[in-house]
Structure 1
Amino acid sequence: MVCGNVDRPNVTGLDVRPRRWHRGRNPVNLSHLYLRNARPFLVAVSALAAVIALACTGDTSRSPAATGLVQSDAPRLAVEPADLEDAGAAVEAFGLDLYRYLAAEEGNIVFSPYSAAVALAMTRAGATGETERQMSDVLHADLVADLDAAVNALDQALAARPGRYPVGDQHVELELSTANQIWAQEGFALEQAFLDRLATHYGAGVRTVDFETAVAAARETINAWVAEQTRDRIPELIPDGVLNELTRLVLTSAIYLNAPWQYPFPEGATSTAPFHRLDGSTVDVPMMGANESFRYARGDGHQAIELPYVGGALAMVLLVPDEGAFVEFEGGLDRDRLGAILDSLRSGRVTLGLPRFEFRTQVRLKEALSAIGMPVPFTDDADFTGISREVGEDLVIQEVVHEAFISVDEDGTEAAAATAVIVGETSVPMDPVTLTVDRPFIFLVRDVETGALLFMGRVVDPAG
């Protein structure tokens, strides 16, 4: 274990001269690397932070270092068709695991599986041994040939989703942007291989800040970057007190989505209607109304419907358990059941009632991630020598902070995530049905081609 003075020269050949910052493309998530012992649209934004710190305290003084951008010159890798296969499956599996843990708490939930997965995958790029194995298991790396290549392919696929699309007699804009950025202590020694991996697979460089003597300014800088990437929907991802003088690295991944519905809800069709909460009480909410051709399914104890966004590449899926069946349905939702539900969707005329909703979730994920399979990265047994051979054995993830926001109305979705669109059906059309979402439900914002979950959550009280 390295204790005492941790002033280290930079890796041989590493250029730390200030450079123009090139933004990468990826969702809003923060992975803070701390020293041990020291943390009118549908709008959805998300951020994650994993904090890594040294395993010992002591003299951490160092000579002043120039601020700027530490970045590999390695170009972003081109996407091979095979890299995109099953990329969404890994994100979906991770999201469902995390949802089951978060669902133990009461209230509404929104989070971004994609955003969280990207931030953790960047952190995993510097892990070795049991630390790397556990992070790979939690991220379901076994479902893809190469997790880094899969994330790169998925990120670049999402970059092709934005554009102007026709709706009726006009064209509307779908905006989807992602960005990754790493923040390191000035003068902190980073492995060239780690920098290369960040550049080639995540489009990310490393910005230097001063956690040791100007931690408040460093926090303000990182939060300002997140706010910019999320159009100010997440203005303060990292709360006061999470970072300290032992912080060495913060990995951030941001995603923003502004997506109009393919079939907007007519404003004149919105009326006040009761919504039945889990405890049996009711609350009056603005209930939007539409009568369109949607993909819909009626299953054992539930209904499901897919609402496409313009362009056909993104969609929101609503899973609506029968009255009194929400808890049982939620507890049994896994990849097999979700896959069966999605496969059962068929096009037909649906009279739909859906409440407007808007809320925010702020959560720390250390306990959740430990519980679903990666406790070692949070302990003194963690090994991040892939980040720095100098002190990698003394680095540990101290905390993972996540925040997401979502707002749904008649026009569509604005979010730090992605959207999915309905595909055509060749089967016999179903009979017209009515679905009034007047009870707790689960929502998924998906990329249709890959199946990646960009956002996931539940609404148990649209008013609160």
Structure 2
Amino acid sequence: MLDEDVRRFIDLINDIGIRLYKHTTSELDKRRSIAISPFGATSLIGMVFIGARGQTSAQINDFLPFDDMITFNPHLVMRNITDSVIMSPDLLSAAIVRELYSQKGSKQPLDFYKARASAFYDGLVQQVDFDEISKVVRERTNELVKTQTSNKVPAFLGDAAVLRLNPPFAALSANVFQMNCALSSSIGRDGEMTFHGEKEARTLPSTVWSGEFMYGYDVGLDATAVEIPHSNSPAGALTSTVFVMPGKPGSNSYAGVPLLARLEARLISRRAWSGLLRNLQRTEYAIDVQVPRFEHRSVLNLTVPLSRMGLKELFSKGSADLRGVNGIQELYLSDITQMNVFSLCSTPDAEGHVETYPSSKRTGRLGSRGGEDEEDDYDWKSSSVLKMPLPLRPRQARIPMSDNPRLKIDRPFMYFVRHNPTGMILHIGRFNPRDEP
């Protein structure tokens, strides 16, 4: 049971995460799928906060109220959540990587700061020549992801990946979340479904979970939600995914895209996440839940969204005060980039629908306009996210066909990954597969 102070802190962080989703996606194509890790972003800001001083520290604290928490250490909460997720046996693999790079030639980061960043966030703090930033960050990111996933993802980024980060001080968040679907079935009719997109219906690979789940319809949001735990342990699953589909099952399927935009707007403006969860009740009998199998990859520059949310000084040359990082007041955060891979039962031997959007780090940079398709510089296909060694691949559960009532998540939907012991939202996504040309 969470202490009341911790619960309020988690609620605040979740609210920030949902607003970050809003600001990040506001200039992107709402007809496209997207994946973001609000926990990856807020915990990275928490790592920067350790080195902030003066007005910059106060501004970050207004955004993330770390210093207001006097009955517990919020940095330790972040650390405990990170450790539990990346070490969870319920997942195929997970990584929550945080990196900070300062310009080589400036004063070295303080050992004290590096030690605290490592202790609370397992974070890397390093000086680098920004002319060689792409190679260095690619190597370091691959090392960290490989370590956190226990070699299950040995090469997160391929050799051709190009990463453009700006000096003098850049932050990077890399997040992997691959669900282990040994408890679901993708055999026979379970393995594909008709999905109703904006213009047409199409067949997508799918998977089916069977059991008694938390399920409900929220009248205010006009949305159907179901929570799928990532384990059937009697002690309860560490993480779960909540799928939220606009409308009622089977209603007006081809209105999915505009209804999804309305759902997102309502969920954000009404701060309705907690209310949605309260509407879920465990089904009194077993049901089948059929969901598309997919993998989504995204590269997001969060500089503009976070500036709009109140962190302008942190990104302002001459205003930011990050003396706690290197002892002198010359640093400002010039870039904060997030790379995500979210996989729902999409493996090399049972590949689901795979998309990358947005594919360029330029999306969301100060002075730029997002939303256009751009060349993918990140060489995801060389990553062993798609080439996992055979012994590490999940075994498909041989679940017999059932006569259970079936809930089909068969039109554009949102999904939220929760850390159940705390309620922290780890990932938020929208699944709206691109129509075939």
Determine which structure has the larger helix proportion and give its number. 2
- The whole-number CA distance in structure 1 between the counterparts of 2:84 and 2:190 is 33
Cα distance, 1:201 vs structure 2: 2.7
Q: Does 1:318 align with 2:236?
A: no
- 1:351 aligned residue: 288
Q: 1:388 aligns with which of 302, 326, 340?
A: 326
Q: Does 1:460 align with 2:429?
A: no
Q: Does 1:401 align with 2:337?
A: yes
Amino acid in structure 2 at the alignment position of 1:305: V
**Residue correspondence of structure 1 range 11-410 to structure 2 within 5 A:** 84-104=6-26, 105-106=28-29, 107-139=32-64, 141=66, 144-145=69-70, 149-160=73-84, 175-184=93-102, 185=104, 188-191=107-110, 193-204=112-123, 206-208=125-127, 210-211=128-129, 214-215=132-133, 217-228=135-146, 229=148, 231-232=153-154, 234-235=156-157, 240=162, 242-243=164-165, 247-261=167-181, 263-277=183-197, 279-300=198-219, 301-310=222-231, 311=233, 312-322=237-247, 323=252, 324=255, 325-334=259-268, 336-348=271-283, 349-380=286-317, 381-390=319-328, 392=329, 394-409=330-345
Amino acid in structure 1 at the alignment position of 2:20: L
Instruction: Provide the secondary structure at the position in 2 that maps to 1:342.
Output: helix
1:163·1:174 contact (CA, 8 Å) conserved in 2?
A: no
Determine which structure has the larger strand proportion and give its number. 1
- The whole-number CA distance in structure 1 between the counterparts of 2:274 and 2:208 is 27
Amino acid in structure 2 at the alignment position of 1:385: R
> Per the alignment, do residues 293 and 460 of structure 1 end up closer, same or farther by CA in structure 2, a change over 3 Å counting?
same
Cα distance, 1:162 vs structure 2: 6.7
Q: Does 1:448 align with 2:369?
A: no
Task: Kindly provide the CA deviation profile for residues 366-402 of structure 1, in whole angstroms up to 9, marking residues without a partner as x.
Answer: 1111122212222222221222333x2x322112111
Instruction: Provide the secondary structure at the position in 2 that maps to 1:264.
Output: coil
Amino acid in structure 2 at the alignment position of 1:108: S
Cα distance, 1:359 vs structure 2: 2.0
Task: Kindly provide the CA deviation profile for residues 122-158 of structure 1, in whole angstroms up to 9, marking residues without a partner as x.
Answer: 11222223322332333354884489x2232232244
Amino acid in structure 2 at the alignment position of 1:126: G
> Per the alignment, do residues 257 and 288 of structure 1 end up closer, same or farther by CA in structure 2, a change over 3 Å counting?
closer
- The whole-number CA distance in structure 2 between the counterparts of 1:211 and 1:162 is 30
Instruction: Provide the secondary structure at the position in 2 that maps to 1:369.
Output: helix
Which runs of no fewer than 5 residues in structure 2 stay unpaired?
Answer: 353-383, 386-403
Which of the pair has more CA radius of gyration?
1
Cα distance, 1:203 vs structure 2: 4.1
- The whole-number CA distance in structure 1 between the counterparts of 2:109 and 2:207 is 52
1:320·1:441 contact (CA, 8 Å) conserved in 2?
A: yes
- The whole-number CA distance in structure 2 between the counterparts of 1:446 and 1:320 is 17
2:225·2:244 contact (CA, 8 Å) conserved in 1?
A: yes
> Per the alignment, do residues 461 and 369 of structure 1 end up closer, same or farther by CA in structure 2, a change over 3 Å counting?
same
Q: Percent identity?
A: 20
> Per the alignment, do residues 410 and 220 of structure 1 end up closer, same or farther by CA in structure 2, a change over 3 Å counting?
closer
Amino acid in structure 1 at the alignment position of 2:413: F
Cα distance, 1:237 vs structure 2: 11
TM-score (norm 1): 0.66
Q: What is the root-mean-square deviation in Å for CA atoms of aligned residues?
A: 3.7
> Per the alignment, do residues 122 and 239 of structure 1 end up closer, same or farther by CA in structure 2, a change over 3 Å counting?
farther
- The whole-number CA distance in structure 2 between the counterparts of 1:286 and 1:356 is 5
Amino acid in structure 2 at the alignment position of 1:346: Q
Task: Kindly provide the CA deviation profile for residues 210-232 of structure 1, in whole angstroms up to 9, marking residues without a partner as x.
Answer: 41675454344334335535625
Amino acid in structure 1 at the alignment position of 2:414: I
Instruction: Provide the secondary structure at the position in 2 that maps to 1:283.
Output: strand
Q: Does 1:439 align with 2:361?
A: no
Task: Kindly provide the CA deviation profile for residues 271-304 of structure 1, in whole angstroms up to 9, marking residues without a partner as x.
Answer: 5433222x34332212433442111011211110
> Per the alignment, do residues 388 and 82 of structure 1 end up closer, same or farther by CA in structure 2, a change over 3 Å counting?
farther
Instruction: Provide the secondary structure at the position in 2 that maps to 1:353.
Output: strand
> Per the alignment, do residues 236 and 257 of structure 1 end up closer, same or farther by CA in structure 2, a change over 3 Å counting?
same
- The whole-number CA distance in structure 1 between the counterparts of 2:145 and 2:291 is 29
TM-score (norm 2): 0.69
- The whole-number CA distance in structure 2 between the counterparts of 1:235 and 1:113 is 21
- 2:361 aligned residue: none
